[in-house]
Chains A and B, each alone.
Chain A
């Protein structure tokens, strides 16, 4: 039986290759994702292990929570260093300030491709792990030393003057040293600048404080012993860890930040690819079984049991699954390398180690590949066992329908309901975001399968409709293609469904992104009265004096800044915005709730707050109530809610006065300055004046309101293109499915094609027939995908309506997706059409 399985695989090489490829690509994406994220993890781990090499204990200030815009903590008072030194067993303790800023050379900010430019105040080399290759550490104010990568890339040498841009202001600094860090000359794409402690404290608004104290133990005192002693000697806000633990924690924090986004995203696209592959395997095995009906019946007639028939088909599936998974793992390694190459090409320098093929990766890839193949083959295999021995003798008998066939519509409805339930439960139910997303994903898979199951009922009308213009275009080819695509609706449906899944997700993403874009633009147009927007490059905060600096510029009527930090309110991480109560309303049109007015801003004081309506609802607060705010440094405050406003897109959180912000947070974090021009002065002139005023702030990006909106749309589009790229894999896999189906259809219709050729059909017409059938199938897939995608997007945008995301259909893009469907059909038909045209008429006519 195993030999029969092998023979069958090798006898139909093309089908075996195409089917294997379908599952291979999905497995490759999953494997590639794990390899890539492991490489990145390992890369970060190497860096932090280097950074904490030789450090026995590290002391920082405890962060109350972590968020994306929490910024750095206030740090530890300098006096803590002495306290640490006093602990028994401490040989040396060194405090330093660290922060994120930017470096400009000749007035141009040095690009890091999204990685941070890190500043450290000088620490001895056994603490900082720096090795000087030129000059030495900074000793006087205005002196810096830089990492070798920066020196090489920017052709800097000792004595060069660079601009240092930091939240506390910008300054000129002279390069006095060049160093390497650990074993690396660079740290991913990050740049490192060493400064004096005083400069760092000034640039990062940490007077009298240090960010971290690194401790070396007296020889013989193990870190695990020393750490509790240090902890006991320090106040509760100090976070004391061994160096090893600190390396692990920091690795985890950073790779979580990347991994929590990158890994699930890549895995879900891998999952979609696998799902598409599953459809193709199901279809391929269904066709194989149908085609081999007589052979299987003969086996049965010769005495093979049903189990043996089942075993034969299962063996085939198993062999295919193992082969596809193993090759998929290899391809996954290539994908990981390819994505890193892409990142590098896009100048995104993510630290990574060499190839990491963890046992977990191999196990998951093998399990997914083999299980999915076996599961997809199980129904066709069971049907194979139901071929009666008599079929060997009958001409033209059809495959017995599955015993469950008549329940299919009910089963589909049940699946669809379960899927819908999953989606709704995921969107509205409790639980963490990732577990809810998982439930939604399962729901979506159920819905896709259900749609695929019932899609056979729409094949005939759809094919008839699509075939009609084709028939007008080409009376014979169009007509035959139309009829052929309706011949076996179940097969056409399964083939089209594979494409539906890929395109369905594409459409969902497109519609969702369209909603995102239009809601943002609506929101901006509704709320922002400014003509210009100033923001820091790479999300760096602007110097805190930027607003006041711009207020004095000629042609400026109002310049108002928005500071932002995250804090915890009612255990929820919430954005807190600090604005100037007098200038802000001039550039911002509030949508007040319950009779509020701009006058409320004047009443904010230092402990008043106005809250976005949705935020207030989720925090369970309202006008007149008090909210408890906890900052990242652990500072607690009570704020009184004096008003509510609506603005879910741009200012979704809590607004306090600038005075209130300063009272709450240790450090300024100015993200945006809105500028309104004087109507009496030309916009171009004002823009020029603003540019001139911002020369001293090289990280500042000045944009007109329109440029700003375009920029946001462009960012969304960039992400969209990335997602399209990842989804292309699924579409390519479904293309293999169409090829597979067509090759078999051509094979089945050998005699028919021979007959039409004998009575005068040209090769070109035969090719056109196959091509049209392919296009009909692919357009059906595209239409189903578009419908399902739009429905998904509608459901999800309804859920996020509170966040201001509207449901909006990108018509132009949908047309483009239909065209993609046509192109997929045309490409898929190339090979089968050539086969069909090459059919030898005489052989075909006598073909049994």
Chain B
């Protein structure tokens, strides 16, 4: 607990908070997502559980980061907080220079709409809309027409071709998830969050989605945060962050599958 308190008192965090209030971007590198001392408590008193116990993280623009960890490590909670879906019990989060921790519901909605893209494990598409309509949904919600060339490029990247006019029920799981990726990219978000994007797919179609994400990072310079427990999926990322018991246990660059297993094993042994 003392560690957490210390974290929140970090001079950098304080300075960042101040500059943010003044409405300018914080000048720390080219970080798109920054978190300082992020803590999440569930329950009260003796039943109190630390889902996150003070996490500091900076995600550079254009980086493809995988967040790994066993069940209950807090990886999903971290993603939800970074994405503004959940509020931390303590700590601060900045996205594209804007502190989101104190934002009102309305501003958070706008943030999700304009700055963030989402891909979930299941249920990413609206059943009543066609694939094409699902892709531009964030733009439609924002009341924007969108950049036609950009949408076209996305559609080409996703490679759905003639299936664009189909409803999700008529698409395979892999196709649906590719549509979800295109949708998440449609509003050119500052950061794309993917929550176990291949968790519900077979290995082959999962591969397609992973390649698509990699492509987005390489060719489009898209910042990506992917939560996964699949080591193979994590090999596609530039950086892998391992969470354990609500804190960052290991943070490293690109790893192969076996190396990832080694890290996991060493963390388990340490626990």
User: Are A756 and B85 in contact, with the CB atoms below 8 A?
Assistant: no
Among the stretches A216-224, A407-415, A479-487, the one at the interface with B is A479-487
With an 8 A cutoff between CB atoms, is A763 at the interface? yes
Cα–Cα, bound, A841→B129 (Å): 20
With an 8 A cutoff between CB atoms, is B137 at the interface? yes
User: Are A761 and B141 in contact, with the CB atoms below 8 A?
Assistant: yes
User: Are A483 and B118 in contact, with the CB atoms below 8 A?
Assistant: no
Collect the chain B residues with CB atoms within 8 Å of residue A759's CB: 112-113, 117-118, 137-138, 141, 183-184
With an 8 A cutoff between CB atoms, is A235 at the interface? no
Collect the chain B residues with CB atoms within 8 Å of residue A486's CB: 128
Partner of B127, one of A752, A762, A842, A845: A752
User: Are A841 and B137 in contact, with the CB atoms below 8 A?
Assistant: no
Cα–Cα, bound, A487→B169 (Å): 13
Docked complex: A833-848 residues within 8 A CB-CB of B: 841-842, 845
With an 8 A cutoff between CB atoms, is B3 at the interface? no
- Total number of A residues with any Cβ neighbor in B under 8 Å: 23
User: Are B141 and A752 in contact, with the CB atoms below 8 A?
Assistant: no
With an 8 A cutoff between CB atoms, is B109 at the interface? yes
User: Would you give the shortest CB distance from B130 to chain A, in whole angstroms?
Assistant: 10
Cα–Cα, bound, A752→B140 (Å): 16
Collect the chain A residues with CB atoms within 8 Å of residue B80's CB: 842
Cα–Cα, bound, A486→B127 (Å): 12
User: Are B109 and A757 in contact, with the CB atoms below 8 A?
Assistant: yes
Collect the chain A residues with CB atoms within 8 Å of residue B184's CB: 759
Partner of B128, one of A487, A751, A758: A487
Instruction: Check A756/B141 contact, CB under 8 A, given A480-B128, A484-B128.
Output: yes
User: Are B85 and A760 in contact, with the CB atoms below 8 A?
Assistant: no
- Could you mark each residue 385-396 of chain A with 1 if its beta carbon is under 8 Å from any beta carbon of chain B, else 0? 000000000000
Cα–Cα, bound, A842→B117 (Å): 15
- Could you mark each residue 120-133 of chain B with 1 if its beta carbon is under 8 Å from any beta carbon of chain A, else 0? 10011011110001
Cα–Cα, bound, A476→B133 (Å): 10
With an 8 A cutoff between CB atoms, is B251 at the interface? no
Cα–Cα, bound, A763→B126 (Å): 17
Cα–Cα, bound, A475→B140 (Å): 7
Collect the chain B residues with CB atoms within 8 Å of residue A842's CB: 80, 85-86
With an 8 A cutoff between CB atoms, is B245 at the interface? no
User: Would you give the shortest CB distance from B132 to chain A, in whole angstroms?
Assistant: 13
Cα–Cα, bound, A765→B113 (Å): 13
User: Would you give the shortest CB distance from A772 to chain B, in whole angstroms?
Assistant: 13
- Could you mark each residue 486-498 of chain A with 1 if its beta carbon is under 8 Å from any beta carbon of chain B, else 0? 1100000000000
With an 8 A cutoff between CB atoms, is A63 at the interface? no
With an 8 A cutoff between CB atoms, is B110 at the interface? yes
The residue among B129, B137, B143, B183 with the most chain A CB atoms within 10 A of its own CB is: B137
User: Are B141 and A765 in contact, with the CB atoms below 8 A?
Assistant: yes
User: Would you give the shortest CB distance from B82 to chain A, in whole angstroms?
Assistant: 13
With an 8 A cutoff between CB atoms, is B106 at the interface? yes
- Could you mark each residue 815-848 of chain A with 1 if its beta carbon is under 8 Å from any beta carbon of chain B, else 0? 0000000000000000000000000011001000
User: Are B126 and A755 in contact, with the CB atoms below 8 A?
Assistant: yes
User: Would you give the shortest CB distance from B103 to chain A, in whole angstroms?
Assistant: 13
Cα–Cα, bound, A547→B140 (Å): 77
User: Residue on A with the closest CB to B106?
Assistant: A762
User: Are A760 and B128 in contact, with the CB atoms below 8 A?
Assistant: no
Cα–Cα, bound, A222→B109 (Å): 91
Cα–Cα, bound, A483→B128 (Å): 6
Collect the chain B residues with CB atoms within 8 Å of residue A765's CB: 141
Cα–Cα, bound, A841→B118 (Å): 13
Partner of A476, one of B86, B116, B141: B141
User: Residue on A with the closest CB to B120?
Assistant: A845
With an 8 A cutoff between CB atoms, is B41 at the interface? no
Collect the chain A residues with CB atoms within 8 Å of residue B117's CB: 759
Partner of A758, one of B106, B112, B187: B112
With an 8 A cutoff between CB atoms, is B49 at the interface? no
Docked complex: B94-121 residues within 8 A CB-CB of A: 105-106, 109-110, 112-114, 116-118, 120
The residue among B113, B133, B184 with the most chain A CB atoms within 10 A of its own CB is: B113
Collect the chain A residues with CB atoms within 8 Å of residue B127's CB: 752
With an 8 A cutoff between CB atoms, is B142 at the interface? yes
Partner of B137, one of A476, A487, A757, A762: A476
Cα–Cα, bound, A842→B51 (Å): 15
Cα–Cα, bound, A476→B80 (Å): 25
User: Are A763 and B128 in contact, with the CB atoms below 8 A?
Assistant: no
Cα–Cα, bound, A480→B141 (Å): 11
User: Would you give the shortest CB distance from B100 to chain A, in whole angstroms?
Assistant: 14
Partner of A760, one of B114, B124, B129: B114
User: Are A763 and B109 in contact, with the CB atoms below 8 A?
Assistant: yes
User: Residue on B with the closest CB to A482?
Assistant: B128
Collect the chain B residues with CB atoms within 8 Å of residue A752's CB: 123, 126-127
User: Would you give the shortest CB distance from B223 to chain A, in whole angstroms?
Assistant: 17
User: Are B109 and A761 in contact, with the CB atoms below 8 A?
Assistant: yes
User: Would you give the shortest CB distance from A487 to chain B, in whole angstroms?
Assistant: 7
The residue among A476, A755, A760 with the most chain B CB atoms within 10 A of its own CB is: A760
Collect the chain B residues with CB atoms within 8 Å of residue A480's CB: 126, 128-129
Instruction: Check A755/B109 contact, CB under 8 A, given A483-B129, A842-B86.
Output: no
User: Are A760 and B141 in contact, with the CB atoms below 8 A?
Assistant: yes
User: Would you give the shortest CB distance from B104 to chain A, in whole angstroms?
Assistant: 11
Cα–Cα, bound, A761→B140 (Å): 10
Docked complex: A157-199 residues within 8 A CB-CB of B: none
Docked complex: A657-678 residues within 8 A CB-CB of B: none
Docked complex: A6-21 residues within 8 A CB-CB of B: none
Instruction: Check A760/B123 contact, CB under 8 A, given A476-B137, A476-B141, A484-B128.
Output: no
User: Would you give the shortest CB distance from A491 to chain B, in whole angstroms?
Assistant: 15
Collect the chain A residues with CB atoms within 8 Å of residue B138's CB: 759-760
Collect the chain B residues with CB atoms within 8 Å of residue A487's CB: 128
Cα–Cα, bound, A662→B114 (Å): 93
Cα–Cα, bound, A487→B128 (Å): 8
User: Would you give the shortest CB distance from B187 to chain A, in whole angstroms?
Assistant: 8
The residue among B133, B138, B141, B142 with the most chain A CB atoms within 10 A of its own CB is: B141
User: Are A760 and B126 in contact, with the CB atoms below 8 A?
Assistant: no
User: Residue on B with the closest CB to A845?
Assistant: B120
User: Are B140 and A760 in contact, with the CB atoms below 8 A?
Assistant: no
Instruction: Check A760/B110 contact, CB under 8 A, given A475-B140, A475-B143, A755-B124.
Output: yes
User: Would you give the shortest CB distance from B122 to chain A, in whole angstroms?
Assistant: 9
- Could you mark each residue 467-485 of chain A with 1 if its beta carbon is under 8 Å from any beta carbon of chain B, else 0? 0000000011001100110
Cα–Cα, bound, A842→B116 (Å): 15
Cα–Cα, bound, A486→B128 (Å): 9
Partner of B142, one of A751, A756, A760: A760
Collect the chain B residues with CB atoms within 8 Å of residue A756's CB: 126, 137, 141
User: Would you give the shortest CB distance from B74 to chain A, in whole angstroms?
Assistant: 14
Collect the chain A residues with CB atoms within 8 Å of residue B129's CB: 479-480, 483
The residue among B80, B109, B117, B129 with the most chain A CB atoms within 10 A of its own CB is: B109
Docked complex: B32-79 residues within 8 A CB-CB of A: none
User: Would you give the shortest CB distance from B179 to chain A, in whole angstroms?
Assistant: 13
User: Residue on A with the closest CB to B167?
Assistant: A483
Collect the chain A residues with CB atoms within 8 Å of residue B137's CB: 476, 756, 759
Sorted nearest first, the 6 A-B pairs with minimum C-beta distance are A760-B113, A483-B128, A760-B112, A762-B109, A476-B141, A475-B140
Q: A760-B142, A761-B141 are in contact. List 16 more A-B contacts (CB 8 A).
A: A475-B140, A475-B143, A476-B141, A480-B129, A484-B128, A487-B128, A751-B123, A755-B120, A756-B141, A759-B118, A759-B137, A759-B184, A760-B141, A760-B187, A762-B109, A763-B105
Between A and B, 23 residue pairs with Cβ closer than 8 Å are: A476-B141, A479-B129, A480-B126, A480-B128, A484-B128, A752-B123, A756-B137, A756-B141, A757-B112, A758-B120, A759-B117, A759-B118, A759-B183, A760-B109, A760-B110, A760-B112, A760-B187, A761-B109, A761-B141, A762-B106, A763-B105, A842-B80, A842-B85
Q: Give chain A's interface residues, CB within 8 Å of chain B.
A: 475-476, 479-480, 483-484, 486-487, 751-752, 755-763, 765, 841-842, 845
Q: Give chain B's interface residues, CB within 8 Å of chain A.
A: 80, 85-86, 105-106, 109-110, 112-114, 116-118, 120, 123-124, 126-129, 133, 137-138, 140-143, 183-184, 187
